[in-house]
Amino acid sequence: MRSVVHSVFGDPVDVLKLTDVPMPAPAAGQVRLRMKLAAIHNHDLWTVRGSYGYKPALPAIGGSEAVGVVDAVGEGVDVALIGKRMAYAGVRGAWAEYYVASAVALVPVPDVMSDEAAAQLIAMPFSALTLLDFLNVAAGDWIIQNAANGAVGTMLAGLAKSRGIHCVNLVRRDEGVAEMAKLGISNTVSTAAKGWKDSVRSLVGDGKIRAGVDSIGARATEDMAALLAESGLLVSFGSMTGEPMQLSSGTVIFKQLTLKGFWASTVSAQMLPEKRKSLMGELIRLVATGEVKLHTDAVFDLADITKAVTRALTPGRAGKVLLKP
């Protein structure tokens, strides 16, 4: 079968190659799926670079999320699954014509949902919903996030709106405000604009920002902390700068802030099954009804992996880059 493989860790543009490999066979408790579409996530590219929390044995097939049709089952798995369209995240080797996955972690895809939405349903959207839940805020509350025009950011904004939560969305380019507006997302402020913090305070008015999500690090962390209300929660979700967070002890002490890290894999693993089922049901309903939209920027053939990765790394994209077999 055709697959996208890297034999060394490095720049994804350079090391990912289209390769023929044997088709996998499902082990006990697994299914094999014929891939329809697979997503290119930032964490997939970090894995290829060798800079993520998980390092695969080399050579490795890239990709971690896809939608596909079950075409074979392993021992102990109901054969009635064959022919069913399923979404799955956390798989090793999704960028291939076929991949294997744990049967118990499959997510059935409703007929009304497109392949483009199903291919990116779990990793980023479910992480965003889990993150929103992690913030412990309610309808009418205010939250703030930076890197808001990223995949998780746009999703968090939409999910917050669906729950009646007000979200201030920070972007680093003035053009980002209009780009967010095209996606139907309001309350966007550019940190490149003079007096942007005053703009945030004016936007919130008499409200109080209960929680913030920092995906940038460095000085951006202190900037966000300064806007939080007393006893606010500051969550570190990532570091686009790659630099340590800068945070004044005075801000933390006098505002009595709480600082937490968020890694979706750990939070999800600790989640009660009933809670996971409830959140996934909420997410599927919102996407299926169109209340929350999962945007696709472009779809590339596996053979065009270099072009696909280059596009995925391009700032200002309007949605997710997907691969087709």
Mark out the alpha helices in 72-150 (DSSP H runs). Answer: 115-118, 123-134
* Residue closest to 113 by CA, chosen among 153, 85, 90: 85
Is 82 a residue whose pLDDT tops 80? Answer: yes
Beta bridge partners of 31: 73, 101
CA distances from 110 to 32, 70, 98 (A): 20, 15, 21
H or E stretch including 52? none
Distance of CA 258 to the CA centre of its chain: 24
Is 318 a residue whose pLDDT tops 80? Answer: no
Quote the pTM value.
0.81
Distance of CA 66 to the CA centre of its chain: 13
Q: What average pLDDT score do residues 93-116 get?
A: 95
What is the model's pLDDT at position 209?
A: 98
pLDDT in tens, 33-52: 999 999 999 889 999 999 88
CB atoms within 10 A of CB 117: 25
